[in-house]
Amino acid sequence: MFDQLRAQLPGWVQDSRALANQGKVAAYIPELAKAPQHVLGITVTGRGGESVSVGETDFKFTMQSISKVFTLLLAFMDHGEEGVFAKVGMEPTGDDFNSMLKLELVEPGKPFNPLINAGAIAVTSLIKGDTPAIKTERILRFFKEASGGANLAVNSAVAKSESATAHRNRSLAYFLKDNEVLGEEVDVEEVLQVYFDHCAVEVDCPQLARMALVLAHGGVDPITGRELVPRRYVQIAKSFMVTCGMYNASGEFAIKAGIPAKSGVSGGILALVPGQYGIGIVGPALGAKGNSTAGVHLLEQMSTAFDWSLF
């Protein structure tokens, strides 16, 4: 596979790059608007650590919604399935990632799933730690472990920029508080701070691919042999990636690519081929549903060529 990938990936990247013209760099977080429209990079890493990188794979970007998968895993390790599913549901919404619609429809105020913003904010409130700084530190430590020991950090300019303009996330969070999804003990502004920080953890494509590799191998880092997350929790996270990982384009992506993936508004996509590869992609120009246009096209081409669809 790696030989074929080395031979074909440069051509696929070149074809996909043109798709950046059909997208727009996210601007609702002002710092993100600085990203260049035509960057495209991809790293694919295999179980022995072998990897192929094509394009601007050193380009640094913030994880944004991709981080929600890993905070979910940490919340499961902190509280178990019951604790997490007391706060969030298991269903896709079919609405935008920051939607306020349907928050009243399940149980009062309980978000449909942990990958929409409302659900991810509820999950962030579950992360253990006495102060927001300790919570962020625990999250960062876990992300570092998952990336095989990379020196990851929060891009505080991005976190600040998001906080300064997060009227919608703030209203979602206060709504959750009003409905007691965020309990009495929870300080809304503190939860939001931790949420903005974990969304602003900065990575490059090889680091993201390495994190994806751990998910591809059921929570075990195949390179070190260490179990980082119980298999069951990874199984749940991957189910969410398939049903909700690409926001309201998850159905189309399941049909066209058919692998678990999670995108973020900075243009990152984490994807994986179960039992095999971890994939990290960046392409900042986003389509109408918030996914990297070039990145999605690239993954669809690769999945078709290698027959990766789980279905």
273 is written with which tokens? 């081929």
The reply on whether position 98 binds ligand GLN by CB under 6 A is yes
- Strand ranges in 181-308 using DSSP code E only, listed in sequence order: 201-203, 261-263, 268-272, 278-282, 285-286
CB nearer ligand GLN, residue 92 or residue 264: 264
Ligand-binding annotation for 162, yes or no, is yes
- The DSSP code for 244 is H
Does residue 162 belong to the site contacting ligand GLN (CB under 6 A)? yes
Is 117 annotated in a binding site? The answer is: yes
SS3 35: coil
Single out the residue of 264, 278, 283, 287 in contact with ligand GLN (rule: CB under 6 A).
264
Tell me whether residue 65 is one of the annotated catalytic residues. yes
Which of these is catalytic: 191, 214, 242, 265?
A: 265
Q: Are 202 and 60 in contact (CB under 8 A)?
A: yes
Q: Is 114 in the site for ligand GLN (CB under 6 A)?
A: no
Whether 247 is catalytic: yes
The residue (of 73 and 120) whose beta carbon lies closer to ligand GLN is: 120
Member of 9, 84, 103, 199 binding ligand GLN (CB under 6 A):
199
The single residue of 13, 16, 52, 68 carrying the catalytic annotation is: 68
Roughly how many angstroms between the first and final C-alpha of the chain, as a whole number?
A: 20
In whole angstroms, how far apart are CA 226 and each of 24, 75, 142, 173, 274?
A: 39, 19, 13, 36, 17
195 known ligand binder:
yes
163 binds ligand GLN (CB under 6 A): no
| CB burial of residue 185 (10 Å; 0-12, 13-18, 19+) | exposed
If the CB atoms of residues 157 and 310 are measured against ligand GLN, the closer one turns out to be 157
Catalytic residue among 25, 154, 195, 203: 195
Rounded to whole angstroms, how far apart are CA atoms 294 and 287? Answer: 9
Q: Quickly tell me which residue has 């997490």 as its tokens.
A: 84
Residue 247 in tokens:
């926001």
Our answer to whether residue 265 is catalytic in this structure is yes
250 binds ligand GLN (CB under 6 A): no
- Active-site annotation holder among 154, 247, 277, 292: 247
Could you list the residues that contact ligand GLN (CB under 6 A)?
64-65, 97-98, 117, 162, 169, 199, 264-265, 290
Q: Which residues are annotated as a binding site?
A: 65, 117, 162, 169, 195, 247, 265
Q: Which residues are catalytic?
A: 65, 68, 195, 247, 265
